[in-house]
Chain A
Amino acid sequence: MDPEKARKLANLFRAEVKDHLAALSDNLLALEKQPEAATSKSAVEEIFRSFHTLKGCSRALGAKGIEVICHRLEDQFSQIRSGKRAIDPGLVDLSLKGLDAVRGLQETEIEVPETDPRVQEFLGLVSVALGGSPRPPSSPPRATTTTPAQAPVPTVSMSAPVVEETLSSKPPDPKTIRNPPPSDATKQVADESSPPEKASIPPPPCRGESARPAVASDARGISIPKAQETIRVAADKLDSLMNRVGELVISKIKTDQRLQDIQAVVSSVGRCSNSFVTLQAQVAHTIGERLTSLREWQAMTKALRSLEQRVTILERDFGSDIARMSLVSRDLEEDVRNLRLLPFSELVGSFHRMVRDLARELGKKVALQVEGGDTEVDKGILEGLRAPILHLLRNALDHGIEPVEERAQKGKPREGCIILRASHRGMRFVVEVSDDGRGIDIERTRLRAGELGLYSRERLAQMESADLIELLFRPGFTTASRVTEISGRGVGMDVVAERMTRLNGTVDLQTTLGRGTTVCLSMPLTLITTQALLIRSGSQMLALPTASVERTLELGKDDIRTVDNRQVLLLNGQPVLLVSLERVLDSTKSRKLTSDSIRALILSDGARRVALVTDEIVGEQEVVHKSLGKQYARVRNVSGATILGTGRVVIILNPHDLIRNALGLKHADSDTVTSGHETRRVLVVEDSYGTRTYEKEILESAGFEVFTAVDGLAALDVLAHQPVDLVVADIEMPRLDGISLTRRIRENLSYAKLPVVLVTAMESSEYRKAGLDAGADVYVLKQDFDQEIFLHMLRNLTARS
């Protein structure tokens, strides 16, 4: 099997495993909580079936390690099913550990053998828990379980929709689990007609007959089979669909413009027609006897009138067509947006597990209740909520819920309760995390703020509870008396606030001392996201909508031609203008393209294309499109900005503008392709972050390649490994100051001749003399700093060397 197919199959497998693990986790936790409940029987049934199915498909794909684990656990649940043993918490615990092992095993490659230490470790746990040596699994013929390339699997292409069955109560039918026939039967399997119960498309082995485990859960977290037909679709296909719809909207806007153009034409024709009639009356007098001319004239007038009518009808019809199209495209937009909606319960699965484990670790008894699991919300929002909710749950567990004895003393039920509630309120999606724990001590917050020096004592004394609660969202704030590994260290609420702002949402906190706390997260229902390609041009990271990038290429000198004093690329015989992105954004910059290898991307707006040279293609990701701000009515080339997961702000470029401006650039001073390194390298040595980044910025925009060091010693370190053309250093720095650094540079044979510029705030003539005596070439005062003169001088210094 070719690697592409193998990769796709592996991904399908992982998706399956993920689903099963989620359902298994839910069912096991429910079972642990209420082993005697009426629903426990079906839970056991589902658990058994999940393990059974997983065993089957991991065997088919050669994931031996996973197969073995699932087999052992399947056996145990088989015994429970047939009444040979009872459910005990130890087994649930063991099973959960098994799930963790499986999760770890499918992360990179799936064909992990059973000899792998992680598998062995788990098997060891099994034998300890159950006593006796692990039974060897019944091994199918060797040949078929080595690699996926040999294991015959039905060829499933990603485009074939797989129709899933609803959960039924049929007992597992060994016939329908595909035991792999000998390896040379690949073709046979592909041709084989599917078993009668299934749809006509041969499903991958994982399906068996146990369909996708149920997703819906009620407030107690127990799975309920949901009778609904579903289709699994790759997320990026949905995104692609969304982009198409976005483009449709743009086309629709253009047609609106056409309509206006037509209306203008109609009025024009109308005016023409009227003038003609007026003129005709005048002409009729003068021509009089020349009847033929008059008749021609009349014919003309009539024709014009008729034209006017036809154009008016055209306008009316076109107008109604557009109105209709608007409706359809708006509905389409909404439908596609709805495709991305997922139920809140998708997020919650892993939380149950986390709460259980953490509560155990902390020695507390806590139950997690989920309400509104069915509430639907955009996939992007759901993903953005994971981190903040996790934080809040950890906080509630760590600081909120009291240990059992304390709760008993207070007369509270021994088991603490955390409620996770999701709902729609108007056009907003709201999530609440409530606990019935200690509540937040406002007075301690007041004290802590005083200790941290955030405000004066008097100011704090005046503050009301609402203001004090707001302080909790400041970075570095924590009222926990000891720093815990879990959620102390003042890292928490400020991160929640920041994440919520990124989602254009808000966070609100209500608390009652002794009774509990509720944190409320509120955000708009939909998120405007785009698939973006991140690129680096010069020192800047920029983003382009992926939909506008046809492809990316690497070019050599020979791929570039000069036509009419401009540089072009031949793409399938068609010339495409080649221009550096830096120059499109700032036409004063002319870029020397080194010929070794040029990275470019083909930008297209549907009608025209341009090849843009960039320094690096960083990667592709989904970004939340943020508008720059109210004061930006229109910025050329820029469509907005986004904040990456790292907190970094990245500008999103506008492809239409870029293409238009690229095509409009003047020919002269166009980018020239030369060879060799022309960039001069500067080492900036400065301990102040603000000054260091400022110097780096101005040097980089002047075309220098900049390295930095925070003090003299670090600078020597850099110089030892990295050749540079110039050093710019501060004087007052820890460990090794600028003057001593200069001396050391002059003493070192490898770079004794390196130009050194001291940039400092030390005005005294003694320092100046010391600096120059040590060997510095120039002594610049920060107070007299002039950017232009500085850059000019640096260019001279590096030109000489």
Chain B
Amino acid sequence: MLTDNDRILKERAAQLAASSVAEQQGELIELVSFSIGREKYALMVDEIREIQPVTEVTPVPSVPGFVRGLMNLRGSLLTVLDLHEFLSVKRPGMRDASRVIVLASDELDVGLAVREVFDLVRIGAASILQPLTIPDGIEPRFLQGMLTDLTLIINAQAILMDPRMIIDDGHGQLAHTRSGTDGEVG
């Protein structure tokens, strides 16, 4: 039979146990998970400006393959990227897209073409694991972590700051000529 003391102690123990779980969890992180081809990824909510359905994407000639093209987003031009191409992910699976996740950025209007967007995920910071480093996998600097179901959390900032994002063709095909005089190539 439990004395009052025992009961109180037991309650207190339970409380302490509960709070340490909460401490372990740490702050709550909100993520949006999505799929590209067969793979699942996630992005932190504050790295996302908005999510839109894909309408017509107009390809741009003479740009790197990871730029799928431009989309009309309420009258302005949004650059739509193919994340797998950008990260050199060579997994099979269709790259069809139904949604664009527009990244939060003051400077650039950029979005990722994704197959499907799943729900908002709320997890404790402590539950985020280190991503597995695989040879020929995604470079670690583009990843923030991994969820327990192996969903990779993408680092949007790293993508936005990557030098490849600035598309600069120099002076065109004949880079050795000065601008103003165009040498003919026979």
Contacts and interface: CB of A to CB of B under 8 A. Distances in A.
B153 to A, nearest CB: 22
B48 interface: no
B180 A628 contact: no
Interface string B68-96: 01111011110100000000000011111
A245 B56 CA distance: 35
Contacts of A632: 63, 166-167
B67 to A, nearest CB: 9
B108 A630 contact: yes
Given A628-B70, A688-B96, A691-B94, A649 B77 contact: yes
Contact of B60 (A254, A257, A638, A663): A638
A54 interface: no
B168 A502 contact: no
Contacts, number: 150
Given A660-B182, A695-B96, A785-B94, A643 B60 contact: no
B98 A651 contact: no
A501 B169 contact: no
B149 interface: no
Given A641-B70, A649-B58, A785 B92 contact: yes
Contacts of B123: none
Contacts of A643: 72, 75, 77
B60 to A, nearest CB: 6
A476 to B, nearest CB: 12
Interface in A612-654: 626, 628-638, 641, 643, 647-651, 653
A455 interface: no
Contacts of A694: 94-97
B166 A786 contact: no
A635 B94 CA distance: 28
Given A783-B92, A784-B92, A636 B72 contact: no
A631 B92 contact: no
Nearest to B160: A631
Most chain A beta-carbon contacts within 10 A, residue among B38, B61, B63, B99: B61
A649 B71 contact: yes
Contacts of A500: 75
B17 interface: no
Contact of A631 (B76, B167, B171, B180): B167
A632 B76 CA distance: 15
B77 A629 contact: yes
B94 A631 contact: no
Contact of B77 (A498, A586, A628, A783): A628
B74 A501 contact: yes
Most chain A beta-carbon contacts within 10 A, residue among B54, B77, B174: B77
Interface in B7-61: 37-38, 54-61
A638 B58 contact: no
Contacts of B62: 585-586, 635-638
Nearest to A628: B77
B97 A648 contact: no
B107 interface: yes
B24 to A, nearest CB: 27
A641 B61 contact: no
A232 interface: no
Size class of the B contact interface (CB-based, 8 Å):
35 or more
Contacts of A690: 54, 96-99, 115
A643 B109 CA distance: 16
B184 A663 contact: yes
A42 B63 CA distance: 65
Contacts of A664: 173-174, 184-185
B79 A631 contact: yes
Most chain A beta-carbon contacts within 10 A, residue among B37, B71, B79, B169: B169
B172 A650 contact: no
A786 B109 contact: no
Given A630-B107, A631-B108, A648-B72, A257 B180 contact: yes
B56 A786 contact: no
Contact of B93 (A494, A647, A784): A784
A663 B172 CA distance: 13
A649 B95 CA distance: 21
B61 A585 contact: yes
A63 B98 CA distance: 55
Given A540-B59, A664-B173, A689 B98 contact: yes
Interface in A642-694: 643, 647-651, 653, 656-657, 660-661, 663-664, 688-691, 693-694
Contacts of B180: 254, 257
Interface string A681-716: 000000011110111010000000000000000000
B135 interface: no
A499 interface: yes
B165 interface: yes
A754 B92 CA distance: 27
B158 to A, nearest CB: 15
Contacts of B77: 626, 628-629, 641, 643, 649
A782 interface: yes
Nearest to A782: B94
A497 interface: yes
B110 interface: yes
Contacts of B69: 649
B62 to A, nearest CB: 4
A636 B169 contact: yes
A355 B106 CA distance: 41
Contacts of B166: 631-633
A551 to B, nearest CB: 23
Contacts of B185: 663-664
Contacts of A663: 184-185
Contacts of B99: 690
Most chain A beta-carbon contacts within 10 A, residue among B38, B94, B180: B94
Contact of A629 (B79, B95, B115): B79
Contacts of A785: 37, 92-94
A630 B165 CA distance: 10
A568 to B, nearest CB: 15
A661 B172 contact: yes
Nearest to A644: B72
Contacts of A638: 60-62
A782 B116 CA distance: 14
B167 A502 contact: no
A704 B97 CA distance: 21
A710 B100 CA distance: 22
A634 B185 CA distance: 22
B179 interface: yes
Given A649-B72, A782-B96, A783-B38, 5 more contacts: A540-B58, A636-B172, A660-B182, A661-B172, A694-B94
24 contacts: A257-B180, A497-B74, A631-B79, A631-B165, A633-B167, A634-B168, A643-B75, A648-B56, A649-B72, A651-B58, A651-B61, A664-B174, A664-B185, A688-B98, A690-B96, A690-B98, A691-B94, A691-B98, A694-B97, A782-B93, A782-B94, A783-B37, A783-B92, A785-B93
Instruction: Identify the 10 closest CB pairs spanning chains A and B, nearest first.
Output: A501-B75, A694-B96, A633-B168, A690-B98, A691-B96, A649-B58, A585-B61, A664-B185, A785-B94, A636-B62
Interface of B: 37-38, 54-63, 69-72, 74-77, 79, 92-99, 107-110, 115, 165-174, 178-180, 182, 184-185
